[in-house]
Amino acid sequence: MDFLQPLGHAAHLAALLAVILLLGRLGRSVARRLRQPEVIGEIVVGLLSGPAVLRLLGQDTFDAVLPGSALEALKYVAKAGLVLFLVGLAHELRVRSGAERHSTLWLAAGSLFAPLFAGTLLAGFVLLQDDPAVRGDAPLPAFVLMVAVTMSITAVPVLARILADRGMSTTSAGRLALAAAVVIDSVGWLLCMLAISLNTGSATGFLHSVLGIGFGAAGALAVRFGVRVAAVGRACALRPRTATVLLGAAALAVAWTVEQLGMTAILGAALVGLAIPSGDDSPWTPVVANLTRAGRTLVPAFFVVTGITVLNQAFSQLSWALLGTTLVLACAGKGVGGYLGARLGGQPRDASRRIAVLMNSRGLTELIVLQAGFSAGILTAPLVLALTLMAVATTAATGPLLGLLDRGASRPEPARTLEPVAVAAEGGTR
């Protein structure tokens, strides 16, 4: 009966995925009722579900429900969903990069460099605390750079959803914030890859990382060459589902190989997404949209796995000082940098305040960067937990803060008293 064992494992995994997808739907429903982006509900429910079930059932029962083999399989599914989602995200960054304007550069510079500086201060705070459980053993340049990058992210997908929900997509402030977020995240990914390369700490390791990046670029170019062939484009238009499967398989193959060469699978996925031709008339645009939907469906598994493997043991190691410092520096970096960048870009004060609030939303992109840093051994679990809570808090605060600014702008100014002027006028006429 050994031949039935794989079927049992597959059925167990399918049941776990069904529960996780239901949890994701529950999180989205709660977020909508609270007028929050749906991803906030998915993140919170996904991250807390594993630790909550463990506390309720106990370690033995939890291990029976989610044995090591099932958890490993769930990790692969979560990573596959993340790769497919990132292909679409990178492609979206490429499509929207054409919306840049001159003032975008000022906003991007302010919203990037100020948070990078704030992240450097956070890294210095961790170093001064001298807690090995939080600091880890990553080389200093890699650690400082990765922490700085995590503070600079502005999530393009979540920001786009917030703008659409609030009717700001066509406003000058909304377009400017979204274009700047594209620039920031693009630079952030490059700095993230640099930090992972620096983490090797040796010339051999660095060359190994360069080899991984080189293979990822070569794989992405191969995908680009394949999709630009006329016959392939016609076949794609005729059979979009088949094209979706083939493109997804190619992206997974490139991402897996890049990870085996010492880099993160996230790099391979991003390179493939950037390599796919863009434009409304491109036959690959709906194919990438299908990949994004497929990956987006599986992303809740990523949150659950992160909650089990990263956050479960980190709660007891997280200090209030670290969490408070992270929140203050994150809000200060994006708030001050976004406001000054918008003002230097020629925006009025009211619009600059709204833009600064928008730039503080981090969402899912932040968690992806944190996963890359944690997988590379640069970030520790307590630090990932602090940064995750910061990402959830800053993203959840975006809507209420915008509402507060709207109410302040619509509040009528107090009427000025004219009695003295009238009396003076009467005296003058007499």
For 321-331, what is each residue's pLDDT tens digit?
Answer: 999 999 999 99
Q: Is residue 287 part of a domain?
A: yes
What is the pLDDT confidence band of residue 152, given thresholds at 50, 70 and 90?
Answer: very high
Stronger pLDDT, 209 or 259, i.e. the higher one: 259
56 SS3 class: helix
C-alpha to C-alpha distance for 154 and 188, rounded to whole angstroms:
9
**Residue 427 maps to a domain:** no
Within a domain: 221: yes
Average pLDDT value for residue range 349-358: 93
pLDDT in tens, 299-309: 899 888 888 88
Taking the C-alpha atoms of residue 74 and residue 364, their distance in angstroms, rounded to an integer, is 19
Position 173 pLDDT exceeds 90: no
Which of the listed ranges 7-11, 114-118, 256-260, 364-368 does the model predict with the highest average pLDDT? 114-118
- 6 has pLDDT over 80: no
Q: Which of 37, 88, 237, 85 is nearest to 96 (CA)?
A: 88
> Is residue 380 a part of any domain in this protein?
yes
Tens digits of per-residue pLDDT, 201-212?
Answer: 666 666 767 777
**Would you state the pLDDT for residue 204?**
65
**Which residue type sits at 58?**
G
Residue 307 pLDDT: 85
Inform me whether the pLDDT recorded for 174 exceeds 70.
yes
How does pLDDT run across 27-86, given as a tens digit for each residue?
Answer: 999 988 988 888 888 889 988 888 888 888 888 888 888 888 888 889 899 989 888 988
Q: What is the mean pLDDT of residues 219-231?
A: 79
Out of 126-140, 202-216, 337-351, 365-379, pick the least confident: 202-216
- Among 63-67, 91-95, 405-409, 415-419, top mean pLDDT goes to 63-67
Q: Is residue 394 part of a domain?
A: yes
Please check whether residue 169 lies inside any domain of the structure.
Answer: yes
The domain tally of the chain equals 1
pLDDT for residue 429: 41
Question: CA 267 to CA 278: how far, in whole Å?
Answer: 19
Would you place residue 163 in the very low, low, confident or very high pLDDT band (cuts 50, 70, 90)? confident
What pLDDT shows up at residue 137?
A: 92
Rg, Å, the chain Cα set: 24
Which residue in this structure is represented by tokens 């392939």? 232
Tokens at residue 238, please?
A: 């005729």
CB-based burial, 313-344: b 16+ in 10 Å, e otherwise: ebeebbeeebbebbbebbbbbbbbbbbbbbbe
* CA 205 – CA 99 distance, rounded (Å): 38
User: Which pLDDT belongs to residue 3?
Assistant: 43
User: In which domain, by residue range, is 190 found?
Assistant: 87-300+317-409
Segment 153-182 mean pLDDT:
82
C-alpha distances in angstroms, 253 versus 80, 216, 249, 256, 265? Answer: 10, 10, 6, 5, 10
Q: What is the mean pLDDT of the chain?
A: 83
**Is the model's pLDDT at 118 over the cut of 90?**
yes
Residue 31 lies in a domain: no
Q: Is residue 159 part of a domain?
A: yes
Q: What is the pLDDT of residue 4?
A: 47
Residue 158: which pLDDT band, with cuts at 50, 70 and 90? confident
CATH code of the domain containing 116:
1.20.1530.10
What is the reported pLDDT for 418? Answer: 43
Q: Cα–Cα distance between 327 and 333 in angstroms, integer?
A: 10
- CA dist 323 and 314 (Å) reads 12
pLDDT at 216 over 50: yes
Task: State residue 119's pLDDT score.
Answer: 96
